[in-house]
Amino acid sequence: MREVIMGLVALLCLYLAYVVLRLFRVSRPAPAEPRYEPEYETVLDTLDRVEPPPPPKPLVEALTPVDHVHSRTEREAFDALVELARLRFQVEALEAAQTSLREEMDAMRESFEAEIGALRNARSVSPQYGEAVALAQRGFETAAIAERCGISVSEAELVAALARGARTQE
């Protein structure tokens, strides 16, 4: 019995050695040659992904350093032109936005100045004639102002003249 177990152990060792030798015989992939990677990705580099690549050049022509530097310079110049066009477009958009904001601000300034003038006039007038001044500034007739505020027509004409005078002074 002991001899059978020793024989099985010996067969197991031989099988293990055979498996290890087969693992070492497996062909390893050849190491890939290092590729030249650009410092940054250019617009033309991204176009290569969309369009099919050009037919391969002979190896000697593809590795000439002058050709590579020249094409890299062309790519950088093209990227600079694209960036310049994009910046010009953005500057024009910002100028248009600034112009519209300036026009809107001028319109708001005019309306605020008119409201401030009306408030100053109303504040400088006696509280008894405050409503009459507000109606005169809105363009009501003197007879309607006199009737609505309970004052005489001559007082309404005076208030309307004062309101018109205050508007012309501003």
pLDDT digits (tens, 9 = 90+) for 50-89: 556 566 666 555 555 544 555 778 888 888 888 888 889 8
Helix (H) or strand (E) segment spanning residue 124: helix 65-124
Distance in angstroms (rounded) separating the CA atoms of residues 94 and 91: 5
Instruction: Give the pLDDT confidence score for residue 161 in this predicted structure.
Output: 87
Distance in angstroms (rounded) separating the CA atoms of residues 137 and 133: 6
Instruction: Give the pLDDT confidence score for residue 102 in this predicted structure.
Output: 93
Classify residue 75 as exposed, middle or buried by CB count within 10 Å of its CB (0-12, 13-18, 19+).
Answer: middle
Q: Which regions in the chain score pLDDT beneath 50?
A: 66-67
Q: Are 63 and 71 in contact (CB under 8 A)?
A: no
Instruction: Give the pLDDT confidence score for residue 11 in this predicted structure.
Output: 94
Residue 26 tokens read as 């497996």
Q: Are 159 and 132 in contact (CB under 8 A)?
A: yes
Instruction: Give the pLDDT confidence score for residue 15 in this predicted structure.
Output: 95
